[in-house]
Amino acid sequence: MTLQQLKYVIEVARNRSISYAAQQLFISQPSLSNAIKELEKELGITIFSRTNKGIVITPEGAEFLGYARQVIEQAELLENRYTNATESPQQHFSVSAQHYAFAVSAFVKLLRDYNRDEYEFTFRETRTYEIIDDVKNLRSEIGILYLNDFNRQVICKFLREGNLIFHDLFEARAHVFISSTNPLAIQESVSLDDLIPYPYLSFEQGDYNSFYFSEEILSTVSRPKNIRVSDRATLFNLLIGLNGYTISTGVISYDINDDDIVALPLNVDERIAIGYITHKDVTNSPLATIYINYLKETIADELNVL
């Protein structure tokens, strides 16, 4: 087993295609396929299952990839420490999350402190099912989403089937985000009846647009005015432009959002458990560990403001 073989496996897993990975690695597809087959034969495991639709990472392959990434990262650290190479190896790290500003703030902190000339980081604000799928298939190391009494059974079923683990970050009571110029902004809290005249904004969930995958709690409540959006910037613009509202944790992160949006407690008996998911068979990389620490730090700072 060589470092080169480990890099090959990581690149194939990242691209989900042997042919495309071969292009990225500047080698022929048969050479790449043979290198992986030799590694699988040597280790006595199957890292990738070949199907008509492409490759699929096996459970034992997912575990192996976790260790492979650590070995490559440690090898790169050694190379940086003991050689005079002018170019730093490119690092990769990916997060998939529901639309939480604190997750972005933690990502910003990670990048500010990451002193490398080259890196390839990805932050996906995306749909609930896709977060689970990204971590399950190792497109992202970390996924950030919420559980509550309503969706817990269904979401946890998908997590178990994907060999994923939910780690608690914090528990929040329900809040609404509204414009600072909204007539309700002068109140200390709001009720569902208070919100009836205003447009309700939520994130669309694509093919998995069931209540259980909704990014907002109380998704089964009937509302006269509904607008679905796909990104946080549009949602905030509509909050301001239309005096709309959405339901979330109350954590706004003013480091990356201005004072035009305010959070008010919603008078309902609901709690939201916010956490991150990881793959059970993959050990956190050093970058993932640092990001998780920044998540906890950012959340603690924001909760102190509330």
pLDDT tens digit at each of 306 positions of the chain: 888 889 888 888 888 888 888 888 888 888 888 899 899 999 999 998 888 777 888 888 888 888 888 788 778 767 766 665 445 455 788 999 999 989 999 999 999 888 777 788 999 999 999 999 999 888 899 999 999 999 999 999 999 999 999 999 999 999 999 999 999 999 999 999 999 999 999 998 877 767 889 999 888 888 999 999 988 889 989 999 999 999 998 887 666 556 788 899 999 998 999 999 999 888 888 899 999 999 999 998 887 644
Helix H or strand E segment including 296? helix 286-305
**Domain 92-304, architecture per CATH:** 3-Layer(aba) Sandwich (3.40)
The CATH class for the domain spanning 3-84 reads mainly alpha
Structure confidence at residue 21 (pLDDT): 86
Q: Where are the domains of the chain?
A: 3-84, 92-304
Structure confidence at residue 117 (pLDDT): 76
Q: Report in angstroms the alpha-carbon separations of 128 from 48, 152, 216, 221, 276.
A: 26, 13, 11, 19, 12
Q: Cβ distance 122 to 166 under 8 Å? A: no
Taken in order 298, 300, 303, 305, the sign of the CA dihedral is negative
The single-letter code of the amino acid at 18 is I
Q: Cβ distance 45 to 60 under 8 Å? A: yes
Structure confidence at residue 182 (pLDDT): 93
Structure confidence at residue 53 (pLDDT): 73
Domains 3-84 and 92-304 share a fold: no
5 HSE (CA, 13 A, CB side):
15
Structure confidence at residue 219 (pLDDT): 87
First to last CA, the chain: 52
The structure's pTM equals 0.71
Structure confidence at residue 304 (pLDDT): 63
